[in-house]
Structure 1
């Protein structure tokens, strides 16, 4: 099928030219903002079946059609047949802000994602301490325990401060002023005053006693409002006085307003949400667990699971435990079981290996590779996983399993978060969910995966005629080589990248770098095969045949080249270490985009092994990938 035919079919299935509000493309996908997503979503399976389409992803108000390396050609054909104006085809201007619900989810997700490493590390330490206490290997009066407990508990107690910084970045306000507001709320004298039981007022206005430590919603609301106050003050203060008076006036307004109105309102909202969830479980029993466990994988796919975080935090603070996250554990274990079933039944050696490996990562709490790489790809195993999650969720609700310590992992390593009176029941629920997902998938079955001639690619038999994504210049006789890091920063496993197309290795194997310096250099000698006008992504074919994609940040195509400077042109021959692109890290982060940068070998199928050889911090030109 030609690129024009691919574009024509996509256009028809998304509702035609009249339904397109805006469309741009990045390195791998077409990104549509549609007037009405309903028809496109209904036709999702048909779009995925179009030759040349790798998949579909819906992110908020953006409908994304994943094409791969041929996306510029499909985009060009789409632009020609749909007669899309130039100012509506490659720019992010005119993009809808989205409805209120999607924007709330976006704020919560974007605010909590940067905090996950701190929460995960602190949660794991608290879990280890809980084990040591349960085994009576330490006493809670030991100095070692007190120090370790402070390390584990600090991130949660002072969560409003961490969250204030993250939310301020999301809204584009001053992060240090936001942090100062949070520190005022948590100041020891303020805490003592609010917990004294005495009547409190400020300038005659009553101050409600609210516990701000470990809280979420009050600081979210406070920093959101701070953004507007700060901007309003900034407009009326002369430039020569801004440095001193803008933060001063903002603090003098927002701290009292938070104490008098915003904080109590946030606390009430949090309590209502917790009471609502509690009432649902109290009145519907195991049915609530069955529904939540059976749908949590779908919730994770949409990113809506972050919306539960304020409720979970409030449950932990108010009740000392949570009843929502057990359902997430059951869903993750069921995904692992479903992929194991695929591995047991698959006749394709490559796909069998993929299923087994992703089953293990799902057991560890990382389910995206299992969901996107195996279960959703074969469809029925995903249904089997939902059934397994429902069974596990119903069990956890029936026996009253409780979650005690918030951590970043909801898998086997995160079982420490369940240590308490229901710990053994939590552990028992793992094999129940896992086995239920496995059995359900084996019963439902799935279309087998046929072997290609080289067994290096696996496609479902029912889609065996589907065209694979073209990779121009793919060299079947590639040579082994090592690739250097194109960026100075911290190595991040690909499955931790907050974009399913990269984390599921749909585009190929590789690694990601969290930049500490805004420079991109060539990872090897080669030729620049792709350089987007938006400057955020570079494709290089090395002299030994590796096709490397360097994608600076996530969704940074929306910046339309802003904050990026290129130093080369397409078809330029480069040597390892040559400067390719510079980018402004802080400006991109302030614009609300993650800066983690995937480095992908898009022709991974041409290699027996693509192995990450570095961890921690790396400098430019340090070796990070070994291709064999």
Structure 2
């Protein structure tokens, strides 16, 4: 794949720079928000070299690339000359891509814009934290050693200061001043206030009582605060003269937003976080086994449309409230089930073209990148996808039953196994092995044969002929 050429063709196929409101990317997808989705051509985009497929969902035009998505993203940014922000710097003043965009679609768009940029750093930190805990439990490193303390500081820092990371991306998403947002987030984790909370001291703001809370690792309070900041900033910038706007707006924002956050938004956000965690926990505790089966099956359907982002805040919130998450282990086996589907096809087929797709896709799937499998193999032949959902449900059920947990966000795969380290780690490993082997065997025996590819090619040829015939008949004489 020629990255520059692919970037140029994608940019042209979505309607050019003038049609782009914003662009972000996750592990495998370019996520465009377009002014007019009708100007983008899914057929042309989907046929570009390096593009796996195109999905329109969650108010986004999602171009699925795979492992090289970050390279294509950078190439598009270079073509745009950074005139389009990577996380919607100008979104509040930009037109919506669809006037009938649903609230849920908007929510997914906001969540992906806030959490995508630092997902890699969080995953890396989680893996390092899991590795350190494994080394300590095996007796290969002591928690008092200098190496452990330094590496643990590196692993834990982004979780401890999570409100600061969220403040930066939220500011870009909502169109607020990122440095003012940083200052607000910094006040939430300011040492003096943390000490007062620990010492159970009292604090008031002009006789208004302040409910002191611990905001380290919190998610929801800072998002609401930065949104309020963006609203206040736009109001002040409209009414203040240009000569004083640059310093008076930040001054007034800090003087208003920080007290409001500590007095109202922070406590309300914290109670909402606790309620969300308790609500999820109540559903999970009804039957962890059933929750695991449903999640393991359903997650793959959410991934198809990119709607899995709606559940990301629950995972972050669980980690912030409890220090661990039980949702991620429920769907992690589904990734390995998809890899099993690709491996089953690889073993069964005698078609070299299919083997060249299925073999590498199996490997990338084992490291968490499953879109090439889903769109290139599972959905193409349908039955492998069915067996993968069943395999994912079996693995998810096992994880629910044994109470598997994760220490951090991250794409489930071989490289990220340390984030699942805990009392149920051995059971978790068993679950992903079962999901992979079960799906591979069932796909090999009942999910694929080479005649499927011949039928698809024949159907595609027939549809192409029909389309050409209809076009020719409609041409004027």
The TM-score normalised by the length of structure 1 is 0.59
Cα distance in 2 between the residues matched to 1:131 and 1:63: 41
> Out of 171, 174, 178, which is 1:171 matched to?
174
Counterparts in 2 of 1:351 and 1:233: CA distance versus 1, 3 Å: same
2:188 equivalent to 1:185: yes
Alignment of 1:398 with 2:401, yes or no, is yes
Query: Relative to 1, partners in 2 of residues 1:65 and 1:164: Cα closer, same or farther, differing over 3 Å?
Result: closer
1:440/1:115 Cα in 2 relative to 1: closer, same or farther (>3 Å)? same
**Residues 336, 432 of structure 2: 8 Å contact kept:** yes
Q: Distance in 2 between matches of 1:118 and 1:177?
A: 23
What is the CA–CA distance in structure 2 between the aligned matches of 1:258 and 1:311, rounded to whole Å?
22
Structure 2 portions without partners, runs of 5+: 1-35, 65-93, 465-477
Aligned CA distance change for structure 1 residues 60 and 317 (closer, same or farther; 3 Å): closer
| Deviation (angstroms), 1:171 | 1.4
Per the alignment, residue 243 of structure 1 pairs with 246
Alpha carbons of structure 1 residues 460 and 24: separation in structure 2 relative to 1, 3 Å: farther
Give the Cα–Cα distance (whole angstroms) in 1 for the partners of residues 400 and 120 of structure 2.
29
**Matched residue of 1:433: which SS?**
helix
Does the CA contact (< 8 Å) of 2:127 and 2:417 recur in 1? no
| Mapped partners of 2:45, 2:354: distance in 1 | 27
- Tell me the matched-pair count: 397
Give a deviation string over 1:186-222, Cα, whole Å, max 9, x none: 1111211233323332223232232211111111111
Tell me which of the two structures has the higher relative contact order, counting C-alpha pairs closer than 8 angstroms and 6 or more residues apart: 2
1:95 aligns with 2:110: no
Task: Sort the Cα spacing of 1:196 and 1:314 in 2 relative to 1 into closer, same or farther, 3 A.
Answer: farther
C-alpha deviation, 1:97, in angstroms: 6.4
Is the 1:124–1:414 contact (alpha carbons within 8 Å) kept by the matching residues of 2?
Answer: yes
**Which residue is equivalent to 2:19?**
none
Aligned residue number for residue 24 of structure 1: 39
Answer whether contact 2:233 2:249 (CA < 8 A) is retained: yes
Shift of 1:249: 0.5
Give the unaligned 5+ runs of structure 1: 1-20, 32-47, 49-53, 67-90, 451-458, 471-628
> In the alignment, what sits opposite 2:31?
none
The equivalences for 1:88-237 within 5 A come to 95-96=98-99, 98-237=101-240
Contact 1:447–1:462 (Cα < 8 Å) also in 2? no
In 2, distance between residues paired with 1:27 and 1:184? 46
Q: Aligned equivalents of 2:398 and 2:62: distance in 1?
A: 37
Map of 1:417 onto structure 2: 419
**Alpha-carbon separation, structure 2, partners of 1:65 and 1:196:** 51
Q: Is the 8 A contact 1:347 1:449 kept in 2?
A: no
CA distance in 1, matches of 2:96, 2:277: 39
**Structure-2 residue corresponding to 1:303:** 306
Specify whether residues 369 and 55 from structure 1 end up closer, same or farther in structure 2 by C-alpha distance, changes over 3 A only: closer
Q: Flag the structure with higher helix content.
A: 2
TM-score between the two structures when normalised by the length of structure 2: 0.77
1:354-433 matched pairs, under 5 angstroms: 354-403=357-406, 405-433=407-435
Q: Which runs of 4+ in 1 moved over 6 A?
A: 63-66, 91-94
The answer to whether the 8 Å contact 1:330/1:429 transfers is yes
- Alignment partner of 1:58: what SS? strand
Residue aligning to 2:285: 282
Aligned-residue CA RMSD in angstroms?
Answer: 2.8
Measured after TM superposition, the shift of residue 93 of structure 1 is 7.2
Given that 1:222 and 1:262 are in contact with CA atoms closer than 8 Å, whether structure 2 keeps it comes out as yes
Counterpart-to-counterpart distance in 2, 1:465 and 1:360: 30
